[in-house]
Chains A and B, each alone.
Chain A
């Protein structure tokens, strides 16, 4: 997507943030699992501070796209630039060289990811879930990191849970800890893969509230979700993926009222009428 197109997007009514330069640039990405061609030439650009919601029916490749951005899956073609890294590769005099696992790990530290099933570390307490990476990987000062972790727990509304273990928490609380864990690495971009899909209905809003809060504080976010309320409230752009391709890309107002793709119309009729 070109910058000109971006400038056509009206600012969100809810706040007056100005979006920065592109911080995630996905160009012509291809990904297959065996014979299954999952991402078919996907291109997408996200600017600093922007919130992009991705929706689409199950199996359309949303998770795979996020996992490719974060290098949990390698790509078969195209390029992904995120947080200043050419994800998965390094450039050596004009050529691309695949990176080793440990070098990819360094790139991953600048992106945060939140999963549908939380994936907290069950063998350590809440605060250790949050401090583990900054302390053990970045070798930062323990006391300092703990203070930051406590501040993060306050931010996600769980100030009294630092010594609890994941199994003692509800799904909504676990997901908020997972968000805090990702934020502890001070990522430049946060990726959310259906963060509320595994939650009981009464816990969805506590997680969405944290995410809305995060978006108003200027975090760049790519969110796969079917929570259209969140898309309306927080998204700068909504994207529909269908069969491994981006088929609609529009600001929320346009996406919900006047979409261009028939797939979007169909998708919206399904999701809004039940």
Chain B
């Protein structure tokens, strides 16, 4: 057997690894944020746009959901220069990941918006809100509840998908593990260490995710607010449970 705990632990706290883990985190956050923007835009274009906008959004979603992220990244970084478009590694990684993410988020956001009761649109139009006002003030705040849980899962995926950016030499966790593996030929320790770091990051995210979801699962309004129907049911139950007074 040729496994060294000593080397493994030295890798876990190795400067390159720590740097890679940090890069994975910010790359995920930035790509997710941009992807969210693209997703909202694509969802809006698909739901409310004219024919051209709708078809543009459809095409974008179809294209990026239908091809591997790996190919998207390689085309952006090594293919586009052929057309005179030169992007840095970081720019390419962010662009590729964000475009890919946006295509998935567009569908999630669309179903979130569609989950809001049609009566909300009627009511906000009836008081005279423009499209922008009712989206911003009425529809999106309610759609958020439906969107949050799948959004959290997408971010979990994003943390791991960033590893693909290593092929365009983005220096995140995976790339750092490759570099360590190549210098000392401790391949198993290096990649196991990277795997451990992904587990740590994903676990931390899970804890955060649970908290966010708990917050958004609660009905609208203050904690102590008990719904009228619940109160009514409780009162009815209480009345039933009361012993009948004897005459």
Docked CA distance A185–B117 (Å):
23
A212 in contact (CB, < 8 A) = no
* 9 cross-chain CB contacts under 8 A: A67-B122, A107-B128, A108-B128, A120-B123, A123-B141, A123-B220, A136-B137, A166-B220, A182-B126
Please indicate the chain B residues that have their CB under 8 angstroms from the CB of A98 in the complex: none
What's the Cα separation between A115 and B125 when bound, in Å? Answer: 12
List A residues at the B interface (Cβ < 8 Å).
67, 70-72, 101-102, 105-109, 111-113, 115, 117, 119-125, 132-133, 136-137, 164-170, 173, 178, 181-182, 185
B120–A121 CB distance below 8 A: yes
Task: Given the known inter-chain contacts A105-B130, A117-B119, A133-B129, please indicate yes or no for A167 contacting B227, CB distance below 8 A.
Answer: yes
Q: Which residue of B lies closest to A110 (CB)?
A: B128
- Asked if B225 and A164 sit within 8 Å, CB to CB, the answer is yes
Q: How far is the CB of A101 from chain B (nearest CB, A)?
A: 5
Q: Is the CB of B126 within 8 A of A72?
A: yes
Contact B131 A115 (CB under 8 A): no
**What is the bound-complex CA distance between A56 and B99, given in angstroms?**
54
The answer to whether A181 touches B127 (Cβ under 8 A) is yes
- The listed residue with most A CB atoms (<10 A of its CB), out of B127, B141, B222, B225, is B127
Residues of A within 8 A of B130 (CB): 101-102, 105
Q: A109-B128, A122-B142, A168-B226 are in contact. List 20 more A-B contacts (CB 8 A).
A: A72-B122, A105-B128, A105-B129, A112-B127, A113-B122, A113-B126, A117-B119, A119-B117, A119-B120, A119-B122, A120-B123, A121-B123, A123-B142, A136-B133, A136-B137, A137-B127, A137-B128, A167-B221, A182-B127, A185-B128
* B219 interfacial by beta-carbon distance below 8 Å: yes
Chain A residue with the shortest CB-CB distance to B138: A121
Q: How far is the CB of B232 from chain A (nearest CB, A)?
A: 8
Whether, in the assembled complex, B228 has its beta carbon less than 8 Å from a beta carbon of chain A, the answer is yes
> Are the CB atoms of B220 and A165 closer together than 8 Å?
yes
* Cβ-closest chain A residue relative to B126: A113
B123 to A119, Cβ gap below 8 A?
yes
B123 contacts A115, C-beta separation under 8 Å: yes
- Residues on the A chain within 8 Å of B222, using CB: 165
Residues on A with C-beta less than 8 A from B123 are 113, 115, 119-121, 178
Interchain CA distance A124-B220 in the complex, whole Å: 7
